[in-house]
Amino acid sequence: MIKKNYPVSGMSCAACAAGVEKGLNAQPGVKKAVVNFADNSVNLEFDDTVTDSLKLKQSVQQLGYDMIIEEGESAAKIKEEQRESAYRKLRDRTILAWIFSMPIMVISMFFMHHHYLNIPMMLLSLPVLAIFGRNFYVNGFKAVMRGSANMDTLVALSTAIAFLFSVFNTFFPHYWTERGIEPMVYYEAATMIIAFVLLGKFLEERAKGNTSSAIKKLMGLQPKSAIVLREGQPVEVLISQIAAGELIIVKPGEKIPVDGIVKSGDSYVNESMITGEPIAAHKRVGDTVLAGTINQKGSFVFEATKVGGETLLAQIIRTVREAQGSKAPVQRIADKIASVFVPVVISIALLTFVIWMLAGGDQLFAKGLLSAISVLVIACPCALGLATPTALMVGIGKGAQQHILIKDASALEQMRRVNAVVLDKTGTITEGRPVVTDWSWLTQDLDEQQRYLPVLFSMEEVSEHPLASAITEYIKQEYGSSENRVKVNNFRTVSGLGAEADYDDEKFWLGSIRMMNTQVAANASEIALKATSLAERLSGEGKSIAVFGKGYVPLLIIAVSDKIKESSVAAVSKLKEMGIEVHMLTGDNQKNASYVAAKVGITHFKAGALPQDKDNYVVELQSQGKIVAMAGDGINDSQALSRANVSIAMGKGTDIAMDVAMMTLITSDISLLPKAFDLSKRTVRLIKQNLFWAFIYNLIGIPVAAGVLYPFTGTLLSPMIAAAAMAFSSVSVVLNSLRLSR
């Protein structure tokens, strides 16, 4: 199955989007098609052995629309060019429509009884309908020929009726005067409907452009070109022309074009746009660099390892785009209504006209016609169609800016209901790698420390113990001892205890508390007692202890631990304040699990948990009626992640965990979890507000347009006012969604 996102052009309303979606889902080989009207795109999942993008494009074209199937930058470029061109044309048509409509409006307001002005008004109306509003008639006619109807159908039908009725009254006024009725014309209604609808669409497109600002900002992180070494010579090439394995030169202040590994030189790189870390990372030979990050003062050469759509930045952009095109469950209600909305509105308009005719015959023909036109104009499926996707696009984009990568819109809707969070310990609450946390010399003689440190470093370099690399890394960072090596003799492993070695005719040892007790048993000095007390205290904190000594004397106590992230305590506290129960699962032993849980304030935890145990734990919580979110970073978490109601992966975790998860915290910082829950609540609140106002608008607007207030007030809603209200409804929904971005 192939999953891709394609831009779709030519859609003018939610009914159009529903038609495209229905048409694509009916094609052989298509598993799922989800059209996003707010972004003018479609997320497609199809079997490439049955169909292909070209066939799907042709099926969309048969429906009267178009689908851009070009790949990569060319697709984005074509989409942007089409959007810009359509935006400019819409702007020009809107301005000209208002220029021609305003004189008609003035004449109809102040000179309505001067019938000799009817022909000038008709002539001014023609360009508005035939040129500036031409798309409404073309698209509306195409929809009817396909056996469907959309927003353009309503506009075309209402304005055509108003215009033709006015033309009849202009040339055959005696038909009405003979019946004692003044022949009125409604050129201002026809033209102002077009003008208001165009203005609404213009403002809507302008606002919709802002909903995808997150994607544009992410795309803007990548430079257009780079300096590549080819045959030993630096050559400037476009990003799309870089191949994996090529060497790229990065100068101070430049953006890194693709992912790669540093081969020569070193520098500090600002990775805050990807990791969220404000402090620049020092990049040396062998370190990874990411596309979109900014080199600072130094320069270096790196080898491209991931290019094009494989870079981390490209994957983030693709995930955000796909998520913005996915649908939350709440949107299905609006989609079902939008798909039948236009035919229902046309039926209501016809019923309105019939009721007026039955109530008053010829005398109320004009009023019945105007009421039917108002019903056609005021009804707006666009507001319903935009209510959910605009809020989701802004919410998912906002999440990306905060380093919360949302892969599925349903996750954003589900998160607000979560009342239990299960956190994996290693790599989620903790850093996920052992580091030295305590370094306590038992000898205060600095000369002795300097003399013995190279022996310790050399023993750990040849040791196979899992903590050895953490200790050598600490020595390098704190003492710069890469050259402080000595040749130790007779290095030997003492099974279950540690290791021994000889240097300068003296025996040195390195190992656990048990090894220390074995070595100093024959000479229990004050230093040995102090070492035992300190080692047992640190061990009680869930840390792994290594003791370095010479002969009968312990020299150094080292504590190594998977360090708790600085943000974990505050994040757990915040989650509890939000009324969310926090649980911890770990494959670690009970002692370490107890210490970490107590340190971060978690009371519900399980130690020694295998993948199946984690899965069962989530099932047990769900059986208690909990809505569970699971956060983890490893392959051992993937089973429980797939089971949870909402699955969250750490950005520095394994690929399989990120593939399974609905959401990824790019910085691997669980302090983002409370932000994600808050974002979910805000987004869903906006969706509900949008849907409420879209429904209420139509529930109130359509009856008022039909003339339900006429028996009580004696007034009818002007089609012109109806057009203004319709335009405002769509714009207001988009503007309400954009509040989330602030």
Which residues are tagged catalytic?
A: 424
Q: Which residue has the tokens 């039926």?
A: 347
| Cβ-proximal residues to 303 (8 Å cutoff; 6+ apart), any chain | 245, 246, 247, 248, 260, 261, 263
| Parallel, antiparallel or unpaired: strands 553-564 and 544-550 | antiparallel
Other residues' Cβ atoms within 10 Å of the Cβ of residue 501 = 21
Tell me the three state secondary structure of residue 251: coil
Question: How many CB atoms neighbour CB 683 within 10 A?
Answer: 28
Of 646, 459, 622, 487, nearest to 550 by C-alpha is 459
Who contacts 55 (Cβ-Cβ below 8 Å, separation ≥6)? 27
Closest-CA residue to 556 (of 459, 427, 682, 699): 459
Q: How far is Cα 184 from Cα 265, in angstroms, rounded to an integer? A: 83
Q: Enter the tokens of residue 130.
A: 């035939």
Query: Residue 197's beta-bridge partner residues?
Result: none
What is the spatial distance between Cα 195 and Cα 468, in angstroms, rounded to a whole number? 75
The three-state (H, E, C) secondary structure of 188-216, written as one string: HHHHHHHHHHHHHHHHHHHHHHHHCHHHH
Spatial neighbors of 513 by CB under 8 A, at least 6 apart, are 532, 535, 536, 539, 545, 547
Bridge partners, residue 303, by sequence: 247, 261
- The two structure tokens encoding residue 225: 């070109």
CA of residue 643 relative to chain centroid, distance = 22
By three-state DSSP, how is residue 737 classified? helix
Q: State the Rg of the chain over Cα.
A: 35
